[in-house]
Structure 1
Amino acid sequence: MEKQNIVVLGISTGGPKTLREFFNGFPLLDASIVLVQHMMKCANKSLCTTLNSVTKMEIKIACHGETMQPGVVYFAPSEVHLELRNNKIIQLVNGPKVCYVRPAVDVTMKSVRKTNEDNITGVIMTGMGKDGAEGISHIKSIGGVTYAQDENSSVIWGMPKAAIYTGNVDFVLTPIGIRNKLISQLGRLSD
């Protein structure tokens, strides 16, 4: 089984603006990114369209049963949880809300498994509440690299703060800082 680079990014309040900044000029990364944004279902497609206009990555709404590929951002659709089976197959699950939200980044992050090959990265950005704190701890416990957005650049510093307070965050940076570190950490696909 070949090595994969997997990034799970959780974000909530202030997300669309922060994600535009984060993905602006983002290269084709040698990674599959799962994006969990708390938002109304009616806005899923328009956010994907907006983000697709600023990055070389393909940004698409995740489908049940699809196999993740590098260079693609899988947007977790609203109202269902997204889990990863074998770190590769997307599963959309109708479970109860976690931290008052569905999809919850905790659910996605906690579904990722430790393997000898895969490089796992967890990122928590602006948002209220504490979704992602348990997930970040899980990612750290399986040997992953963890990031959280700093307070000054966050619209609401609830989720990043809760993640940081677990003691399991490696880097606290602005969205641009996180982007630049991810690019150097994971590398680019040849365009």
Structure 2
Amino acid sequence: MAALLRSGPTKFRTAYCGPDEDRQISPDELAEATVYVQPGGGQVSRTWRQLRDYSSYVRDFVNNGGTYLGFCLGAYLAAGNPGFGLLPGDVGQYIDTPGASTDSDDDTVVPITWRGQQRHMYFQDGPLFRLNDGAPATVLATYNTGAPAAVVAGYGSGRVGVVGPHPEADQGWYRDARLTNPDGIRFDLGYDFVETAVYGQLPTK
């Protein structure tokens, strides 16, 4: 995700925060940021136990005008129960829904519709999104079932971007999982996701 942010149109500067990093999640560190990114990987409950003490800092950051980007696990955590409570709605497991193109939590490639265009994306048990009626949100992509797969929404003065599949997946991901994307390995959807989440116009309530 850091590579995606650095290589996109805006070319963000990135820094890592965490127990083994020079920077920690704090109001002072977030005050210097434009975007907070929560990556995928790991289990929701375990990751939330590591993050919940910092959740008010992240919520305040977004409420005051920052952007939260959640990829896969980070998208699950954008909702509540457990999570940051930033998403105007809830999340669910795509693989558990009737008609899903996969019912396995193994790494795979799924078909999606991104802004009306048929594409394929790397996927590993990512969420779908159930938005509240009238929520100020834009659905960028849907799964084959029609359920939202990528959403940008408002929260306070800030914004929340969440995506179930992995637009940041590079050649190493596909090689290690022995997968092929029929569209080729491209990052245009990731760039669109990031730029729309940070700068795009949201619908009004």
Per the normalisation by structure 1, the TM-score is 0.33
Of structures 1 and 2, the one with the larger relative CO (CA 8 A, separation 6+) is 1
Per the normalisation by structure 2, the TM-score is 0.32
